[in-house]
Chains A and B, each alone.
Chain A
């Protein structure tokens, strides 16, 4: 009996060790991939934005291998602590392909990535793909050094305009779609709605607003960003930048920013702000959105998207969000359609550890070919889209699933767009069809019935119709301030880390939660801490970086 037990335990341990050894990170590459032109090469790929495994066995991934002979093994940060890249740099062991976003600077400094400029010079597609925008990827303005391929879509028209403060369609419907332009007008509606419906039909409490604040870095999004957006400042991270002088100021020093926190403070004390705002996890936040408990939100679409998809999946269309041009006062423009211009920034890099950089680069190059772009956006012909009489169209069920099923995109492989070079919507290929599946019509098709009802009531067909056009804004001479690279080994980086990850979450949470009478004193104290911490020096140093960037863009 005892002997048997020992044997069982031994086998168990052996199996555990074996599986542990096999799991290098991400799931295994399936062995039934097809490629006619020789051997299939596997490269490892680390994405800082990854939240779950993306196995290389989706229809789109398989098709990519079929066409190129390359397979990618996905790896992503666990716990979201941002330690992976520094550890890579410290250990010197790199994945082949890296999408490290802001941490890319670390890898460049550590000499971990290869110079792509010579590869781009000889590329089939990439050089033309970026065209005039190529100088924006130069490292420190040097035309012979390009370390990363700029991420996010180039030449992107802003069709899919979203509000800085989306509100449930149900709220607008209840009161007969009144005109709402300011935060305060909206607040009145929310108060009245909660009077009528203090709980959801299942008995869960309803709140005017919740903040997704406590999970990792998310306070930057919900606690930091909306203060500027709702006051009419476009997204420059923690900064407000003057387009003429290019002077940058930490936004909290600007008098208009205080209004957001004073307003949150009022909501908090009136019990309209979800009391879990400062302690909940992202999952709890998503569940609240998905239960229809949150009437309005200040989160960006990618934050509440999962919750909204669940709402649609469960047929709670009225609880999805409407995008109205909301700001604190009527004199400022809502920034929904603002376009900072394509910024370059840190995208895909090839590491020194890659054994065959040319092969890998050719794969990236292919991704920007017509074939690659269409496959990544439209999916596989016959499975995801049809091409009858030369007209490419998404299969309606696929289009609906992409909008309403949170897992569908990943399961088919549509996620391979993110981080890689991407083209803007509306650009035509050689067949006269658009390269991406998005068009104003396709966007309208994705709107929920409730959204369409709301739009009809406001006499519009798209949310964009309610906002000023992109051309109403001044062109930014430097892009967006949050995309300005900060050297890692610098005083400015330390100060920035403190402002963004210590001062902002601690102090701004505190001022929201004090009593209304104490708010002004708490605010002044918080700003004093900011000033004592050396924020004026930070402003000066960052202004220089912004000017450098504007210079690289030829605007200073």
Chain B
């Protein structure tokens, strides 16, 4: 990516009839995706009205009585919601701290491996867990971490603990456990994009650095990392936008009554205290609140990234 090429990209073209004419095929091609987006991302927003109603399925959105901001008032007063919000943020931060940085490190290290065959095998093995469903990962984890499992046996034999620990039964361990297991599952998969980005770094730069006497670490620090900086920042921005979208699948599968105080997320809260209790309006209010915070997070992250000259939009 040379400097002049970048400048051309930044230049804004003015919309003229001839330009529209020239790009009509392209626009036609993107049309289905636009429709898809409108149907699946914008039309459902209509349902947000439910958050301001006491919605009942038999009356429908048109006839349900209005409730004003009642559901939001209840939401902000609910201790359970505060806990779920804290957990969502906490788990996401752990995931960002471990789940986001490890693939970068993994890609850098893999890039240094010169023996091609090993590199390929390592890459394949590392991204296979991505295809294993969380249900299976959760039961494997359960077996590994239970009191008769290998980790406890190891720690007992090494004399580090006196009594086996039920790891999933310790609330404070839930966030790191989730982050570690998620990283294990996705490290190889997430590293692919970095490995690809590293491959596109100009080889001449390395040769020049070698001539200047740079060792491996210096090359990594001064060439590889800056070379993939844009990719890292874009992915970081996207990840921050999804902080609240942590879901509930992993939490439900790994959760139990004891770690519930640290496992329940906003989505799970919306399910358990909204939909499952037939409180559709309340569930909608939770979802709406989540979406608004997510939007703020994305915008803030992007603003930050633009300062680093790598904003997404």
Contact = CB atoms under 8 A, between A and B. Distances in A.
Given A214-B256, A498-B80, A90 B57 contact: yes
Interface residues of A, number: 41
Nearest to B255: A214
Given A90-B57, A505-B257, A276 B273 contact: no
A281 B142 CA distance: 9
B249 to A, nearest CB: 10
A109 interface: yes
Interface stretch (B31-39, B98-106, B275-283): B275-283
Interface centre among A205, A214, A281 (most CB of B within 10 A): A214
Contacts of B58: 109-112
Interface string A253-280: 0000000000000000001000110111
B56 interface: yes
Given A205-B148, A505-B260, A509-B258, A83 B277 contact: no
B261 A506 contact: yes
A90 B260 contact: no
Interface stretch (B14-22, B162-170, B224-232): B162-170
Contact of B169 (A86, A111, A279, A493): A279
Contacts of B257: 213-214, 219, 223, 278, 504-506, 509
A106 B277 CA distance: 9
A81 B163 contact: no
Interface string B9-30: 0000000000000000000000
A494 B274 CA distance: 10
A275 B275 contact: no
Contact of B164 (A275, A280, A284): A275
A350 to B, nearest CB: 17
Interface centre among A213, A505, A506 (most CB of B within 10 A): A506
A82 interface: yes
A284 B80 CA distance: 30
A514 B242 CA distance: 37
A276 B146 contact: yes
B163 A275 contact: yes
Contacts of B260: 502, 505-506
A219 to B, nearest CB: 5
A276 B169 CA distance: 8
A82 B276 contact: yes
B258 A510 contact: yes
Contacts of A276: 146-148, 166
Given A271-B163, A279-B146, A89 B261 contact: no
Interface in A158-216: 205, 213-214
Nearest to B275: A86
A87 interface: yes
A506 B258 contact: yes
Contact of A497 (B139, B271, B277): B277
Nearest to B252: A81
B87 to A, nearest CB: 13
Interface string B49-74: 00000101110000000000000000
Contacts of B57: 89-90, 92, 110
A501 interface: yes
Contacts of A205: 148
Closest 4 CB pairs of A and B: A505-B257, A214-B256, A111-B58, A275-B147
Given A279-B168, A488-B279, 10 more contacts: A89-B278, A90-B280, A214-B258, A275-B166, A278-B258, A281-B139, A498-B80, A505-B257, A505-B260, A506-B257
Interface of A: 81-83, 86-87, 89-90, 92, 106, 109-112, 205, 213-214, 219, 223, 271, 275-276, 278-281, 284, 488-489, 493-494, 497-498, 501-502, 504-506, 509-510, 513, 533
19 contacts: A82-B276, A87-B275, A90-B275, A92-B57, A110-B57, A213-B257, A275-B147, A275-B166, A276-B166, A278-B169, A278-B258, A279-B166, A279-B168, A488-B278, A497-B272, A505-B260, A506-B257, A509-B169, A509-B257
